Chain A
Amino acid sequence: AVLKDGLRSQVSAALKEGQVTPTELCQRCLALIKSTKFLNAYITVAEETALKQAEESEERYKRGQPLGILDGIPVAVKDNFNTAGIETTCASNMLKGYISPYNATVVQKLLDQGAVLLGKTNLDEFAMGSGSTDGVFGPVRNPWSYSKQHKEKSAPKSHSEDEESNWVITGGSSGGSAAAVSSFTCFAALGSDTGGSTRNPAAHCGVVGLKPTYGLISRHGLIPLVNSMDVPGILTRCVDDAAVLLGSLAGHDPKDSTTIQDDFKPFELPNLTDVSKLSIGIPKEYHAPGLSSEILALWSKAADLFKNAGAKVVEVSLPHTHYSIVCYHVLCTAEVASNMARFDGLEYGHRSDKKDSTESMYAATRREGFNDVVRGRILSGNYFLLKQNYEKYFVKAQKVRRLIANDFAKVFRSGVDILLTPTTLSDAVPYTEFIREDNRTRSAQDDILTQAANMAGLPAINVPTALSESGLPIGLQFIGRSFQEKQLLTVAKWFEKQVQFPMIQLEEVKRHDSGVLQHQKSASFS
C-alpha cells in the first residue's frame, strides 16, 4: 500500500520507522516496472544502480541520518535529461547508445538528496509531440487503458484483439513519466514542459503535472527543445508531492544563466480552509474550438466549486490567445532548427557510414538520425530564420509573444490570483485514432490550452479532476503569477481535496504482462 501513498506524510514516515526499507521500495517498483512493461513507459531501467542507491539510502536510515524526504524514494527521469553512466536517448536514433558524462542539475539534485533513480522514461523523439507516440522505442500506453474504471465504461469488447488495439495514448511528450507515476512504478518523475509536455500527459494519465516558472529550475543537462520555453516538469500523484519535488529542485544554478539569482525557500503547503479572499479568473478565450462538452461542463463545475466556497470567480480576457499557437510554432521550430544543428555525427551520437564528403556525411547522418517530425521542424525553423523571412516570421512571432505575456500580466494586475482552464480538449483518445492525424496537426490541437503559459513563462499545474464518460482522467489547469508557486500549489491542493479524484484500479496488469510483451521488441532495457 505504501506505493500509493504521499511522500511527506506517509512514505517518509514509513521509511523512518522502518516499516519499509528503501531496498524493499526499490524492488517493489522494479517488479512493477517489469509487470507493466507493456506500457512501454521506460526506455532504460537502471536496475543495478537503483538497487545500489537504495542500499546506500538504507544505510543512512539505519544510521538515523536520512538526507531528507526524498531519501530512498524511487523516481524516474524523462530520457531527455542527461544522466551520467545511464543511456540518454531522447527516443531518437541520433542518440541511441549515447552515455552522457554528466548529470543534469536536476538529476544531480535528486541523487544528492538520496532519491533512487529507477530509469529513463519514454517520450516523443526529442520531446517533439503530444502523444508519446513518435519515438524510436514505440508509443507509450496509458495505464488507464487497462483500468477497471475505463473497462467498465468503454463499449463491451469480448475479443482481446479489440482490446489490444483500443488502448489510449498517454499524451506527451512526457508520456513515459506520466505513465510511470500513474502505474505506481515510481513516486515521482521528471518531465519537461515546452508547450504542455508535462501537463498534457499528466491530464491524460490522471496525475499532477507541474510546470514551474521559467528560470526557477535549472535547465542545465536538459536536452533542449526550445530554450526560451523549456522547463523541467514535475509529475507526482498529489499536489503535496509536487511541492516536495519543487523544493528539492528549485533555485539558482551557476550553470544555467537564465535561472534567477534569488534564494528559493522550499515550502510546505498549508491546508486552505478559507478561499473567500481568492480571485479565480476564467479566461473566455479558452472555450477553444473542439473543447469536449464534458470538459466544458467540468470546467464550469470547478468554477462553481470555488464560487460556492466563497471565492471571487470572474471571467477574464486574454485577447491574444488565438495567435498563440501559430506564434509558438514559429518560435519553436526556429529554436529547434538551431538546437539540432549540433547533431552532425562528429562529436557524439549517430554517424552515417556515407563519407564521400563532410557535407554528405552530415546529410546522411541527420537523415538517418532524426525522424520525419524532427526533420520537418528543422526545415520550417530554418525557413523562418532565413534573412528574407526573419522579420516577417521570427520577429513578428516574438512581438506576439510579448503581447501574450502582457495579456497575462494585465489580468493578474487586475487582481486575479489564479487562472482556471481546461488542460486538454478531451480525454485521451485511442492510439489508432490518434495516429490518423500527423504530429503537427496533433501538436497544434493538443498544445492549444497549455503553450501560452510557456510563452509567458508562467507556472501552471494540471490537477486530475474527474473521470470522463469513458472512465478516463480529465484534468484542469491552474495558471499562477510568475514565481508564485506557493500560492498556485496551495490553491491546487485545496481543489484536489474537493474533487477527490479516484485512484486508478489496475487489476489486469498481470494478464497483459504476458500478452503484450512480445510487441515491445523495439524497447531496450539495460
Chain B
Amino acid sequence: MAARGCGGVWRRAWQRGAGGPGPGPGPGPSPRGQRAVACNAKGGEVPAGKSGLAPWIPVVGLEIHAQISSNSKLFSGSQVQFAAPPNSLVSFFDASLPGTLPVLNRRCVEAAVMTGLALNCSINKKSLFDRKHYFYADLPAGYQITQQRVPIAVNGSLSYNLCIDNKMSQMVTKTVRIKQIQLEQDSGKSLHDDTRSQTLVDLNRAGVGLMEVVMEPDMCCGEEAAAAVRELQLILQTIGSSQAVMAEGQLRVDANVSVHHPGEPYGVRTEVKNINSIRFLAKAVDYEIQRQIEELENGGTILNETRAFDSKLGCTVPMRDKEGKQDYRFMPEPNLPPLILYDTKSLPANMNHQQVINIDWIYERLPDLPSVKREKLVEQYGILPEHSFTLLNEDGLAEFFESVVKQTQMKPKKVIGWVLNDLLSYLKQQSLTVKESPVSSFLLADLLNLLEKKEISSSAAKQVLAELWKGEGKTPLEIVKEQKLELLQDQKELEQICQAVIDGQENE
C-alpha cells in the first residue's frame, strides 16, 4: 500500500539505518588499524595526545532503543513479527488513516516498568506522551509518539563488569547512570532503490513499541560501552521485556561521543547512529574517539553531527539524511490521557484490575537479575566469578549447567570445566546455541557419571563426547561398550595385558 512503484528486484537497494548510507567514507579520515584508545577498565588513564601536550578524556553516552517483546504494537492491535511479508502487519492506525486514535498497550507499559525496576529507576506514577514531528516516508503520521517531558522511568543505574587487559580473572565493576526510559513508537522501514530512484515503504515495524534507554555519558571507550550494552541486553532478556536480538534490530544503539582535556568542559559531540552489533559498537566508539582527537590535534573542529558506522570500512561517516538541524516541534499528545501507575499503597479500592498497573506487584514478580544469578552460582556451586559470567553470557547455558549438576555426582567445580571448555567451545565452533546442542544435559551428566565412577578415563570421556556430538542417539555407555573404552578394574586382566606388552617388547 505505502510502497511507491512496483515490486521486483532492486539490486542496489540499501536500507535506512543499516550499513553505510553513502557511496564511501567521503572526505573523512581513512580507516586505520591499531591506534585504539588506551582507555581501559581501570578508568583513570586517558590517552595522551600525539603532541604529548594535554591528554584527552573521551566521553561516551548511549541511547539504546530496545524493542518491547509484545504480541501487538504500542498503540494498535497489529501483530509484531520479524520478517513478515511487507505491509502485512499494518492496522489503520499504523498507516495513520485519518480519524484513528492511539490505544495504549498494557503489556508495553508493564515491560517498561519491569525494565525501569531492573535498572534501579524511580518509576514515575504519572508520565506523559508527546508528539515529535518530522517528515519521513516511513513515519506515516508525520510525528512519533514518545515521552519527551515526563518519561515512565528516571534516575537509574546499571552496573557492568569489565576485564582488565582482556583477562577474565581481573574484573572490575563499573556503573553507568540511567537518565531515563521512555516509551515510544518505532518507525517503518524505507527501502531506497537508487537505480529506479524510488522508495519503497514497509510499515510492519511502524508503531512497534520501543523502550528508549538513555545512559548518561559515564563511559570512556568502546569496550565500556560494549560491556554496558551487553549487560543491559542480558537484563532485558532475563526479565523478558525485550528479546534484544541485535541482528533483528531489537536492540539499536546510538552513541554520543566527545573528547576534551582534563579540567575543560565537554567537547562538541557527534552521534553515531543505529549501531546494530556489540562488536561494532566498540569499534565505532573507539574509531570516533580517535577521529575526534586527530581532527582536533590537526587544528580542526568537531561538528555536532550524526554519523553512521560503516562496518565494512571500520569507520564512521557523516549521515546524509536528516542533514541540518531539526526542530521537532514537540507537543503533548492530546489523544492519550496521562499514564497513571499505582503501587500497593496508592491503589484505589474498587478499581478494575484490568485498568490499573501496580508497580509493587511487578516488582515482586521480577526474576533474578544476571548479577544476582551470578552471585548465586558462585555461592552455590563454588565456581569462579568469571565462570558465572560465561554461564550467563550464553542463553540457556546456566540452566544447562545446573541441570547437569543435578544429575551427576561430580562436583560442580569439575562440571564447569566440561561445560565451559568442552561443550561451549564445541558449540561456538559449530555456531550452535545451547538449545541446539546435540548433547543434552542428561547425556553429558550420564557421561560425567561414568567418569566420576572411574568407569572411563578422562581422555576416554572426551572420545565419547566426540562421538556424542554426532547425535546418533547412542548413550554414553553404549559408545563406551562399542569402542571398548572401559577402564579395567580387574587386576588379573590388567596383569595379563601388561605381561603381554612386556612379552612383545622382549621379542623385538
Contact = CB atoms under 8 A, between A and B. Distances in A.
B465 interface: no
Contacts of B199: 358
A255 B99 contact: no
A217 to B, nearest CB: 13
Contacts of A226: 334
B102 A257 contact: yes
B255 to A, nearest CB: 24
A341 B331 contact: no
B337 A258 contact: yes
B99 A390 contact: no
A82 interface: yes
A102 interface: yes
B142 A344 contact: yes
Interface in A333-381: 334-335, 337-338, 340-344, 346-348, 358-359, 362
B141 A220 contact: no
Contacts of B99: 81-82, 100, 104, 220-224
A94 B102 CA distance: 23
A9 interface: no
A338 B143 contact: yes
A219 B101 contact: yes
A385 interface: yes
A356 to B, nearest CB: 10
B390 interface: no
B98 A95 contact: yes
A347 B4 CA distance: 10
A310 interface: no
B470 interface: no
Contacts of A343: 98
Q: Which interface residue of B4, B328, B329 has the most chain A CB atoms within 10 A?
A: B329
B140 A258 contact: no
Contact of A346 (B131, B201, B327, B334): B201
A64 interface: no
Contacts of B135: 341, 344, 359, 362
Contacts of B10: none
B133 A255 contact: no
Contacts of A224: 98-99
B103 interface: yes
Contacts of B447: none
Contact of A386 (B96, B137, B327): B327
B201 A341 contact: no
B2 A346 contact: yes
Q: Which interface residue of A81, A104, A228, A344 has the most chain B CB atoms within 10 A?
A: A344
Given A95-B98, A387-B327, A346 B137 contact: yes
A484 interface: no
A349 to B, nearest CB: 8
A335 B331 contact: yes
Chain A interface residue number, banded: 35 or more
Nearest to B92: A102
Interface string B453-489: 0000000000000000000000000000000000000
A254 B92 CA distance: 15
A347 B96 contact: yes
Q: Is the interface of A mostly helix, strand, loop or mixed?
A: loop
A261 interface: yes
Contacts of A222: 99
Q: Which interface residue of B99, B102, B135 has the most chain A CB atoms within 10 A?
A: B99
A254 B93 CA distance: 14
B103 A382 contact: no
B336 interface: yes
A227 interface: yes
A341 B132 CA distance: 11
A101 B92 contact: yes
Given A254-B103, A261-B355, A344-B135, A101 B335 contact: no
Contacts of B92: 101-102
Nearest to A98: B98
B100 interface: yes
Given A347-B1, A347-B96, A342 B334 contact: no
A257 B329 contact: no
A469 interface: no
B104 interface: yes
A387 B95 CA distance: 28
Interface string B122-133: 000000000101
B97 interface: yes
B330 interface: yes
Nearest to B3: A346
A342 B101 contact: no
Interface in A163-210: none
Contacts of A342: 96, 98, 140-142
Contact of B131 (A88, A101, A338): A338
Contacts of B1: 347
B439 to A, nearest CB: 51
Contacts of B103: 254-255, 257
A257 B104 contact: yes
A59 interface: no
B97 A338 contact: no
B245 to A, nearest CB: 29
6 contacts: A95-B98, A228-B334, A257-B101, A257-B337, A347-B1, A347-B140
Given A228-B334, A346-B137, A347-B96, 14 more contacts: A82-B97, A90-B98, A101-B92, A226-B334, A257-B102, A338-B133, A338-B142, A338-B329, A341-B135, A342-B142, A347-B97, A358-B137, A359-B135, A390-B330
Interface of B: 1-2, 4, 92, 95-104, 131, 133, 135, 137, 140-143, 199, 201, 327-331, 334-337, 355
The 5 closest A-B pairs by CB, nearest first: A341-B142, A385-B329, A227-B334, A228-B334, A223-B98
